[in-house]
Chain A
Amino acid sequence: MRKTLLFIPLAVLALIILLPFLWTVSTSLKPLTEVNRYPPEWTSPSMSLKPYSDMFFYLPFSRYTLNSLIVASSATMLTLIVGSLAAFAFARFRFRGRKQFLLVLLLSQMLPGASVIIPLFQILKTAGLYDTHIGLILVHTAVLLPFVIWLLHGFFSGIPTEVEDAALIDGCSRLEALRRIILPLALPGLGATALFAFLGSWNEFFFALILTNSDATQTIPVGIGLFVGEFEDVWNQMSAAAVLFSIPPLILFMAMRRTFVRGIAAGALQ
């Protein structure tokens, strides 16, 4: 009885909170004539998935999707490789300057994008990497690294050193121990970190907007962000793009909710 009493307010709250998103979903299923109708309706008999195929036809979204996939997956891989090496150093070695390095990482995480964007733009231009996938991948990697190192450091520290010591006694080198012992044991942690990194790059807008300039490299958020000003007559296709773009983050979130929640709580409190 108490449960059903609570169900209704919880469900109503969910509807109110998700209103902007639900309205976008509803719009993404309507033909244009229904979108531009007053009074607006939530549903209509002529709802279909047509805007979802139209958007690939009228707007360059298949290209954007490919770009987003290339950038996000490469940045994730690169971040994980570079990040796990650094995290291993922090978790397993005592060395001079350890504290200072950690502080630099912590501080670079606080760095406002606005205060590096102009030089980055100039550097990438000079290096011929402006408006390329590689340029954006490198920038995303650098931006994601501090958080990734910090997460992996936590996972690595949780693995008892005894396992590793045994491997070292058996004649493994430190790097072999990392590859054969620590990485497999930290696999769940690595998976969760990979998700964080992927989402970070997938959703990133500011750097992508300023460091790319053509359909061949622009990612989905840039496409949506720029079209919002210019293609306001095709709200249904724009909504379809927004919904489609949100599906990967939503699926990942649902699958990894516990890790996510633990991650945020830890990330801000420790």
Chain B
Amino acid sequence: MKRVTPYMLLAPALLFTVFILLYPMGQNLVNSFRDVSLVREGRGWSGLLNYEHVFGDAVFWLAFRNTAVYAVAGTSLALLVGLSLALVLDVNTGKMSSVAAGLYSIPWVISPVVAGFAWKWLLNDHFGILNYWLSSAGIARNGTSWLGNPHTALFCVMAARAWQFYPFAMVMFLAGLQSIPAEQYEAASVDGASSFRKFFHITIPNLRPVSSVLLLLGVIWSFNDFNMVFVMTRGGPINASMVLPVLVREYSFVHFDLGKGSALSVMIFALLVTLSFLYLRVLARRERA
């Protein structure tokens, strides 16, 4: 009796994980080698044809490049903002910095759909406040459609995404800063080090492990991110801000080609497994250190 108890306790959770996550995962792999359509009878096995279609699609390569830029540059931007704010908040003012930390975390709490909506409206070409300010300052012409312009759309979505992710980085950096032993700074002060030197020789090296975890997690999450691009641009104009998760929906539910959509999502999965593997290795190295 005692032996089976833990398995019985685990059974419901395993059922969920297997039926809703793992089985679909396997089915997805099978789909990717078959001709499956939403609007007509499937034609059965098709070998690597779906993959060939994906690789032969110029939009895929564009989306691939966009996703990489979106994930890496967006995450770096968020890390930079998060670190700067963490340094500001680390100047201890008791209650005040705790309230400020709460306010600065709001972008992380609100739904990505709301965040995307708010940014889209802020950037509106005629009635958005940002355009008005930029045109008043003579930086841009009024009526500039930031999201409608293929050269700026991806950058805007990336900024919105960074806006949502930086509070996470900020909180983690703050925890990192507060765990640096005070003795290290005291010893440096005794040796007459300037605050500039202390920052580069104590603070930055101590934050390196947190930074690598954040960078990888941020890249993985952004790589998966469907919401911001879908809400703000739907991948447009003319696919200029298309990213891979949005393209999966496009293939599957707009072109009704489930096979091609599956092939693409298998490729996303493979990429993410590689990134997750890296992440686990970084974590393992942290634990040993």
A residues whose Cβ falls under 8 Å from a Cβ of B = 2-3, 6-7, 9-10, 13-14, 17-21, 23-24, 27, 35-40, 42, 81-83, 85-86, 88-89, 93, 95, 98, 101, 104-105, 107-108, 110-123, 138-139, 141-143, 145-146, 149, 174, 199, 202-203, 205-206, 209-210, 221, 224-225, 228-229, 235, 238-239, 242, 245-246, 249-250, 253-254, 257, 261, 264-265, 268-269
Contacts and interface: CB of A to CB of B under 8 A. Distances in A.
Contacts of B13: 82-83, 85-86, 105, 145, 149
Contacts of B102: 253-254, 257
B268 A235 contact: no
Interface of B: 3, 5-7, 9-10, 12-14, 16-17, 19-25, 27-28, 31, 85, 88, 91, 93, 96-97, 100-107, 109-122, 124, 126-129, 132, 136, 142, 160, 163, 168, 171-172, 175, 210, 213-214, 217, 220, 223-224, 226-227, 230-231, 234, 244-245, 248-249, 252-253, 258, 261-262, 264-266, 268-269, 272-273, 276
Lowest 4 CB-CB distances: which A-B pairs, in order?
Answer: A142-B20, A119-B24, A119-B27, A86-B13
B20 A250 contact: no
Contact of A108 (B21, B117, B171, B266): B21
A246 B110 contact: yes
Given A105-B13, A242-B113, A242-B118, 19 more contacts: A10-B88, A17-B103, A17-B104, A21-B107, A23-B129, A36-B126, A40-B127, A85-B10, A89-B6, A98-B6, A114-B248, A114-B268, A115-B25, A119-B262, A143-B20, A199-B109, A265-B171, A268-B217, A269-B213
Contacts of B252: 117-118, 121
B129 A123 contact: no
Contacts of A19: 122, 129
Contacts of B269: 111-112, 115
A238 B20 contact: no
Given A86-B12, A253-B105, A3 B258 contact: no
A101 B10 contact: yes
A97 to B, nearest CB: 8
